Amino acid sequence: MTDFHSLFDREPSVAADAPGRVNLIGEHTDYNGGFVLPTAIPQRTRVQLAARADDTVRVHSESAAETQEYRLGEETATHAWIDYVQGLTRLLRASAPPILGFDALIQSNVPVGSGLSSSAALSVSLLRALRQAFSLPLDDVALARLGQRSENEFVGAQVGIMDPMAASLADEGTALFLDCRSLEYERVALPRGTDLIVIDSGVAHNHAAGDYNARRSECEQACALLGAKQLRDLGVAELRRVEALPEPFRRRARHVITENERVLQAVAAMRAGALSRLGELFYDSHRSMRDDYQVSVQEIDLLVALARARTDVYGARLTGGGFGGSVVMLAHAGRGRDVANDIAAAYAARSGCDPRVLVP
């Protein structure tokens, strides 16, 4: 394990961390002003940091096994991991009070490209460390907003607010029921009688790539055709209007509108302990992401199919932005580890991919 003192010849003054997240349901609804339901996972990103008296920033990423250095005010996109740091410092340089330079060590076991919000875990953990080091007057929601702005404006990924809000506010015992328009949130207890499973498919994705940003653009175009500010403004009663749209806007809008409704129904099912109904909503969500939003891939579909073939799994679906990543499942209580290992083994044999059981 990398040692801060060996890198920077001094000790860190602050330390902070933030979790990755798995989204139970509510995919691609956040940037459409809708509802989401993420929960934190055990994997976390940790930052050790010491402030400097000049404008130099030195950051070491243990995952990348390299140290990058730049000066505040001279942030330049490199299309590498350091951009997630540079985007934040560019924003904070204009804050009150402004930050100075710093040395930082970043360590993480949140898998990159797995749909588990590794970028938001990095942003929020670093922001927490900077908030402490420079006494920044930022609450947890403000940190999430800064994380989103950094990815949107500097990194070039048009992500919504869900991931940084989950990294900043979610915990492992509850799901964060979040209204992505108002940012009102409520923690809902995870249902008893279930084990949470997260399996990384081994197919990596990249949110800064064109497919993700294209989906957001298609939603905006659908809104223009429908005369709506956001797809959140349209309920299931207006799906008849949506059906008149040309493709692909019809499918994109239909997914977002029905997915928002599924989140609301999932929260109700969790509160009622209606586990079979919750599982059905997972499968319906996956079908919509596969057919209407078209962000699933063959390997993800195989994992969901393997889960569906079992009687000890309530439901399974693609989680995260898609084009690879991970699957989230709800299994019968006490069966999670065996189910996850069985499905991962069957998937590896049929797909040739190298899956990872991340939860439990």
pLDDT tens for each residue of 339-352: 999 999 999 999 99
In whole angstroms, how large is the CA radius of gyration of the chain?
20
Report the half-sphere exposure of 184 (CA within 13 A, side-chain side): 1
Of 185, 167, 198, 159, nearest to 24 (Cα)? Answer: 198
User: H-helix or E-strand containing 68?
Assistant: strand 66-71
Confidence of residue 209 (pLDDT cuts 50, 70, 90): low
Give the global pTM: 0.92
* Residue, of 212 and 267, whose pLDDT is higher: 267
pLDDT tens for each residue of 275-317: 999 999 999 999 999 999 999 999 999 999 999 999 999 999 9
- Does the structure show a pLDDT above 60 at 183? yes
Q: Output the pLDDT for position 210.
A: 67
Which neighbouring-strand residues pair with 58? Answer: 69, 103
pLDDT tens for each residue of 25-46: 999 999 999 999 999 999 999 9
User: H-helix or E-strand containing 20?
Assistant: strand 14-23
Q: Output the pLDDT for position 150.
A: 96
For the residues 167-184, what does the mean pLDDT come to?
96
* Residue, of 23 and 206, whose pLDDT is higher: 23
233 is catalytic: no
Q: Output the pLDDT for position 2.
A: 87
Provide the b/e sequence for 160-174 (b: ≥16 CB within 10 Å): bbbbbbbbbbbeeee
Of 103, 279, 114, nearest to 203 (Cα)? Answer: 114
Query: Cα angle vertex 158, ends 156, 159, to 5°?
Result: 120
Active-site hit among 30, 103, 163, 284: 163
Query: Cα angle vertex 191, ends 188, 197, to 5°?
Result: 105
